[in-house]
């Protein structure tokens, strides 16, 4: 029996959501993960100032396809007035949720005072969130944070409470500091502490890559929803596995034929949604193709070849060759 959580008035199955990932979780990626059972998705990070200054690419990132819902548009910025205006513009695309990024660790974001830099200035973080909440009206606003700036400044529970006080409808917590980036292990205890600090839903993130780790995060942190990021690389099937478990239905892991079929479907979707000609669009698909081959015999060589792909026909041929390699390897064992 599937349970649901509510972010504002938005109902989301309590299974697993797809995390926002700049440069990865584009529309094709989100649609594939939603098809395989992701309960919820968040857009790539969008610059609040970029929207306000009419940046074309930024505006494209805000649009929401029917197959992506429920979905949040994620904004980043450190100036309340720009954030409020950006929210007003983003609402034209009718997102289900507005999400504010206060967790991105990359220097080009942090150096503007945005992303995880806001965890060092909690008063400003609260002002940014409050401006977004006022501008959003009835659309719920959520905030993505990290455990803190560094190991000496772990402040996620306190910041989460301040964000709740200014009207945030949910808090997503990645259990690493900014200084960790994506290294080391995520600290799930901090997610538990945030859950204890607030009454609004808490979304846990960090080091979830399969059903077992998803269930452990729910059990160990008490979070309301689990969010998966890098664990979905080449693996939208993780959402199918988790969804099947919560529905009490059987799950069959994908074999190499299914993995390659889904890889090719994913590439076709990238090509269809891209405004670029085939060859430059294939450049965007290369890393996606490589991820689907992880963990198989001879995959290192094939992943290298993925980064040379220039056409869909080449991807088809490579997938067929990869399947034959796995079959011949299995026949030898």
Residues known to be catalytic = 104
207: left (phi over 0), alpha (psi -120 to 50) or beta: left
Distances (CA, A) of 328 to 256, 304, 323: 12, 20, 9
The residues near 316 (Cβ < 8 Å, ≥ 6 apart) are: 264
Distance in angstroms (rounded) separating the CA atoms of residues 180 and 147: 10
Q: Dihedral (C-alpha) 68, 26, 141, 80: value to the nearest 10 degrees?
A: -150
User: Does an H or E element contain 190, and which?
Assistant: helix 188-197
Among 162, 190, 160, 150, which Cα is nearest to 174's? 190
Among 243, 203, 251, 224, which Cα is nearest to 39's? 243
Based on the number of CB atoms within 10 Å of its own CB, is 238 exposed (0-12), middle (13-18) or buried (19 or more)? Answer: buried
Among 303, 208, 323, which Cα is nearest to 255's? 323
Which tokens go with 217? 């995060």
Distances (CA, A) of 162 to 155, 176, 258: 11, 20, 46
Among 40, 100, 62, which Cα is nearest to 232's? 40
């Amino acid at each position: 029996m599937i349970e649901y959580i509510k972010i504002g008035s938005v109902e989301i199955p309590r299974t697993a959501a797809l995390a926002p990932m700049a440069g990865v979780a584009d529309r094709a990626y989100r649609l594939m993960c939603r098809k395989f059972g992701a309960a919820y998705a968040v857009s790539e990070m969008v610059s609040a100032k970029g929207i306000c200054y009419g940046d074309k690419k930024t505006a494209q990132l805000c649009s929401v396809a029917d197959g992506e819902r429920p979905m949040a548009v994620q904004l980043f910025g450190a100036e309340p007035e720009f954030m409020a205006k950006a929210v007003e513009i983003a609402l034209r695309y009718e997102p289900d949720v507005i999400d504010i990024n206060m967790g991105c660790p990359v220097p080009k974001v942090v150096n503007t005072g945005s992303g995880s830099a806001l965890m060092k200035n909690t008063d400003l973080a609260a002002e940014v969130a409050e401006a977004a909440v006022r501008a959003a009206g009835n659309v719920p606003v959520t905030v993505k944070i990290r455990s803190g700036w560094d190991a000496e400044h772990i402040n996620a529970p306190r910041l989460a409470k301040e964000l709740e006080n200014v009207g945030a409808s949910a808090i997503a917590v990645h259990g690493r500091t900014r200084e960790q980036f994506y290294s080391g292990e995520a600290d799930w205890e901090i997610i538990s502490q945030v859950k204890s600090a607030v009454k609004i839903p808490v979304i846990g993130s960090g080091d979830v890559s399969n059903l077992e780790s998803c269930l452990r995060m729910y059990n160990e942190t008490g979070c309301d929803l689990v969010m998966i990021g890098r664990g979905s690389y080449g693996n939208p099937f993780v959402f199918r596995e988790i969804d099947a478990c919560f529905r009490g239905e059987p799950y069959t892991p994908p074999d190499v034929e299914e993995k390659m079929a889904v890889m090719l479907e994913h590439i076709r979707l990238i090509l269809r949604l891209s405004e670029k000609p085939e060859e430059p669009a294939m450049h965007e698909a290369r890393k996606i193709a490589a991820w689907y081959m992880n963990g198989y015999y001879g995959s290192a060589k094939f992943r290298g070849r993925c980064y040379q792909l220039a056409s869909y026909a080449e991807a088809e041929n490579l997938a067929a060759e990869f399947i034959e390699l796995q079959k011949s390897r299995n026949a030898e064992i």
